[in-house]
Chain A
């Protein structure tokens, strides 16, 4: 695809602040082309009926679709440099793909592999795995619970002291090499509720030990138990490591930074995904209000319903600006990135859930049935609002970032 050349125009160097000191919050030409390609693929291969049917099979992830998206469209390598086989694009482009996978509630591990695991590997500079990911031949997942909140203690250069620095405590630890070999590592432990681990070939695992480290583990050696998940379009897995061989890719502070950067980027791209899902869900609801007739008129002519969807549209419009700002800040490595991510994840979590809930209500009885896509969006929205930090968690982090201390502080 053409992203590798076009993206140069929209990469960090080109995202100079527009008037008012804010970056370009619109979509560039390359982003619009990428969106068209992804949307066309998803509309073709990933209609809601296919998505719904797949949730009741053993293969809840569509690995065939993912291969096309990852390798043929190059979406797996968007964030990876061209000399490692990637597209050398930026988070602006990745955010557009996330919007589209959100619109389609697509059961593909774009977020877990092409964003979260990729960002961890970029931080660790593991070129070998990055090249395999960029080629679309390998899929990876970071072994942390989906509900883990990001905790970047200043990794983007902007989080001031006093901000939350809670880290997801590793539940995996290093054990003594079985054979006493000097260059091998073995991991033991469990991680519950990991997103996008089921289709992964490689797990990137933060583990306690001396020192704390980040390890690459072949998925074949790990116990992967599928979880009956609220959102079966992104089915979670419980992971069990029983003395499995691992390769260390980062240790100490570098490993912490890699995990923090991965979760930060994940939260920002999840916000774009939530925005995309909200936008699509609102479109479906508005279409239904035009089509459904009661009392001899289209129900969309009732002001009580019109005002509700108008408010949803306003919320979606606001959320888009927040999501674009987070993507632009990440792409440019801006000092405001932590604020931007917190704003985006808070705004998009809230609006996606609200649109999905209102979408069910405004569809009436049909919206409560299994044979209608409304519940796919509701389940995706609710679980995504918990994933990578709730809206409440992200707003709380703004207290430290914006200097709005809680009661009891500063007395």
Chain B
């Protein structure tokens, strides 16, 4: 059985032939992928070796110690956290070979075209249409699709070269059955990306307008009509990647609040002290629960338990940042900057508590609202009967909108 020590030996052998300082960054990363040292829990030939996921940190640490370039995972969170596991689980072999390597090296940033102005919590009600066309994307004679519609809350769309897309291919069947999952080329004609400004003043997200965007049929992931099944798997990965990050004690937002408490004895009150102790204990217990969840996860698809981590993460972020703004007192009345900017992602820690307070309001909405997550836990974990629905069995085109 391969151990962390074996993997460290592999890294050493790899580095012996490729000096990180003297090798082009992308060449180095591509070679690392080809050597099966990108993500060891992925299959051989796709950047991994089919090993347990928990062996990966040893590999990353060995590369870091040698000063090797990273694939800048923070720039491609959706690609690495959601697109890759979806492609691995549902993509065909050709798609896996075509997409996973540039995804991992960061050459291709991915985004996610799911939510629409008319389909938020009721994602399966989405209206973006994909229509079959005889010929698409210049590949003569090849079958393909033309996609038209509007997507919203797309982070990184302005940076991405590829997208995960769910579109309606059959409006005549009930809503869950008429969806199909695609990978969309963000540089294709008909794709227009506009920034969407949020309450913090900046625009992390985008609106994406799709007008007759050509997609070859070879970029369809899963069968026609199976889009809901694939999308559900993607969303499970999203909840794990939002709520399940490994951190040290006081590694999350509680660290910032605790530091402010220690720094400002003059601001302390008994009420705030009680709140801080509750939040500190809850945050630490949530960290332990996240660690336990990761211990449970095999390399396969995460279960609905990830929903619990995301629920707790959202509540804690909101309560902790609210606490911190109050602790700041007079300083909490100021805000650092309302200028419209295009950050690469949410950065909770470079800014004031006021920013965290506002940004955290989105945590219980993005990636599945807390209400939808409670439904998922109630129905999928606890087995409670579904809500009585009025849209069941009704063709999508006949639903009131």
Contacts and interface: CB of A to CB of B under 8 A. Distances in A.
Interface of A: 18-22, 24-26, 286, 289-290, 297-298, 300-301, 303, 306-307, 309-311, 313-314, 317-322, 324-325, 339, 342-343, 346-347, 395-396, 398-399, 402-411
Contact of A306 (B269, B378, B388): B378
Contacts of B280: 398, 402, 404
A407 B57 CA distance: 41
Contacts of B384: 286, 289-290, 298, 300-301, 306, 309
Contacts of A26: 292, 295-296
A307 B378 contact: yes
20 contacts: A21-B248, A286-B382, A301-B385, A301-B386, A301-B387, A303-B375, A306-B374, A306-B378, A310-B373, A310-B375, A318-B282, A321-B289, A324-B288, A325-B288, A339-B284, A342-B281, A343-B285, A346-B281, A399-B273, A407-B268
B305 interface: yes
Contacts, number: 143
Contacts of B294: 19-20
A314 B308 contact: yes
A409 B268 CA distance: 9
A153 B172 CA distance: 71
Given A25-B292, A398-B277, 8 more contacts: A24-B295, A25-B291, A314-B308, A318-B312, A321-B288, A325-B288, A399-B277, A407-B265
A227 to B, nearest CB: 31
Contact of A321 (B278, B285, B311, B387): B285
Nearest to B377: A310
Interface in B377-395: 377-379, 381-388
A189 B15 CA distance: 74
Given A398-B280, A406-B273, A310 B382 contact: yes
Contacts of B312: 314, 318
A411 B286 CA distance: 32
A410 B264 CA distance: 10
Interface in B90-145: none
B388 to A, nearest CB: 6
Nearest 4 CB-CB pairs, A to B? A306-B378, A407-B268, A321-B289, A310-B374
B262 interface: yes
B296 to A, nearest CB: 7
Contacts of A410: 265
Contacts of B289: 317-318, 320-322
Contacts of A322: 285, 288-289
Interface of B: 54, 57, 246, 248, 258, 261-262, 265-266, 268-270, 273-274, 276-278, 280-282, 284-286, 288-289, 291-292, 294-296, 305, 308, 311-312, 371, 373-375, 377-379, 381-388
B382 A309 contact: yes
A86 B335 CA distance: 63
A301 B374 contact: no
Contacts of B281: 342-343, 346-347, 395, 398
B330 to A, nearest CB: 18
Contacts of B295: 18, 24-26
A248 B379 CA distance: 58
A239 B123 CA distance: 64
Contacts of B296: 26
Nearest to A402: B280
Nearest to B291: A22
Nearest to A319: B285
Contacts of A406: 268, 270, 273
A290 to B, nearest CB: 7
Contacts of B265: 405, 407, 409-411
Contacts of A301: 384-388
A314 B311 contact: yes
A408 B273 CA distance: 11
Nearest to B56: A19
A300 B387 CA distance: 9
A320 B289 CA distance: 8
Kindly name the residue among B266, B278, B291, B386 whose own CB sees the greatest number of chain A CB atoms within 10 A: B291
A404 B285 contact: no
Contacts of B378: 300, 306-307, 309-310
Contacts of A398: 277, 280-281
B382 A313 contact: yes
Contacts of B262: 403-405
Contacts of B383: 286, 290
A155 to B, nearest CB: 22
A346 to B, nearest CB: 5
A301 B246 CA distance: 35
A407 B273 contact: yes
Contacts of B385: 290, 297-298, 300-301
A41 to B, nearest CB: 27
A223 B384 CA distance: 52
Given A26-B292, A306-B375, A404 B284 contact: no
B308 A317 contact: yes
Given A321-B292, A404-B277, A307 B371 contact: yes
Nearest to B257: A404
B33 to A, nearest CB: 22
A19 B278 CA distance: 27
A218 B339 CA distance: 77
A131 to B, nearest CB: 36
Contacts of A313: 308, 377, 381-382
Contacts of A346: 281
A307 B373 CA distance: 9
Contacts of A407: 265, 268-270, 273
B288 A317 contact: no
Nearest to B370: A307
B276 A404 contact: yes
A402 B387 contact: no
Contacts of B375: 303, 306-307, 310
